Amino acid sequence: MLFATSLVSAILLLSGVLIIKAIRRRNNRRSPLRGKKIANLPGQQLMARTIDHGENLSFAFILMYFSLPLTLGAWSIHHVDWRSVRFGFDEALFLTAGIGVFGYGLWMYARSYGAYMAAKEGQIAEQITGQLLNRLMGPKCIVAHDMPCENFNIDHIVIAPRAVYAVETKSFRKPAGSSDSSHYKVAFDGNSLQFPDFRSTKVIEQARRQSQWLGRYLKESLGRDVPVIPAIALPGWWVERLEGARKSDIRVFTPMGRGAEFLLSGEEILDGTTRTLIAQAVAQKYPSVDK
């Protein structure tokens, strides 16, 4: 009986996972960074090993926690007189509860799987964008990444001679290929991003809010107004700037190739000393090493 219930659970689990993955593949969308090479960050191999060790610790904890209950359950099943067992109301209630718990777990898996894939694609997009922005670093430019703020983070901060850029990186999946090149283009009209099969304004609003927050924070830290320009990086997309984009306060660009070099252009408004002070203020938002 114990073996049979374990086998049924395993079959249901495998079937549910395969169905969820098949449904996700049917949308025919793919990452805009598919096939791109990406270099490792400093300590990335150690980070992967740390995650593996953490998962082993979690498994060991679960194993220790459930060791006696599982053993007791196996012992109880072994001593049950199955000839006297009848399937009635109590048994139906426990079976329904088991199916309900499994269904809830499957729902949680489906939700978490989608969130996991979105986070993974976002991480890759931020990593690629960060590596390309790092090429700008030099005597006139300072770049910081993943700045912790109030219940959110700013993906990248570019402290350039003209202004400070608060860069938000987004990874939108591309639709299936079409007969022309429109499936990898996104048009920016100053107020929205027009993708081949949908339109988005939320990322525009998000970039504006983050740059405004950064502007207020730098003013409090330095005691003076600092120009902060919101920017959106779309790695893997070809950005078409429409007429309204020229008058917009937001810069939308692809960091691929030389797409981020415009961040260094323009008249010098922030001198070297000011840029250093801004970098120090940004550094204050990062956590300290505990041990």
Q: Give the model's pLDDT for residue 269.
A: 94
User: DSSP code of 196?
Assistant: S
User: DSSP string of 109-162?
Assistant: HHHHHHHHHHHHHHHHHHHHHHHHHGGG-BTTBEEEEEEE-SSSEEEEEEE-SS
Backbone dihedral angles phi then psi of residue 12, each to the nearest 5 degrees: -65, -40
Backbone dihedral angles phi then psi of residue 105, each to the nearest 5 degrees: -65, -40
213: nearest Cα among 194, 228, 192, 234: 228
The type of residue at 197 is: D
Domain assignments of the chain as residue spans, ordered by start: 135-283
Q: Give the model's pLDDT for residue 179.
A: 54
How would you write the pLDDT of the chain (291 residues) with one tens digit per residue? 555 666 667 777 788 778 877 777 666 666 666 666 666 666 667 777 888 888 888 888 888 887 887 787 777 777 777 677 777 787 788 878 888 888 888 888 888 887 888 888 888 889 899 999 999 999 999 999 999 988 899 999 999 999 999 999 998 888 776 555 566 789 999 899 998 888 999 999 999 999 999 999 999 999 999 999 999 999 989 999 898 888 899 999 999 888 999 999 989 999 999 999 999 999 999 887 766
Q: Give the model's pLDDT for residue 63.
A: 80
Q: Could you tell me the CA-to-CA distances from 40 to 46, 48, 131, 135, 155 in Å, in that order?
A: 11, 11, 9, 15, 18
Instruction: In whole angstroms, give the CA distance from residue 15 to residue 72.
Output: 29
Q: Give the model's pLDDT for residue 41.
A: 63
List the beta strands (DSSP E) in the chain: 142-148, 153-159, 164-169, 185-188, 193-194, 199-200, 228-233, 238-241, 251-253
Q: Give the model's pLDDT for residue 27.
A: 62
Q: Is residue 218 within 8 Å of residue 270, measured between CB atoms?
A: no
pTM (2 d.p.): 0.76
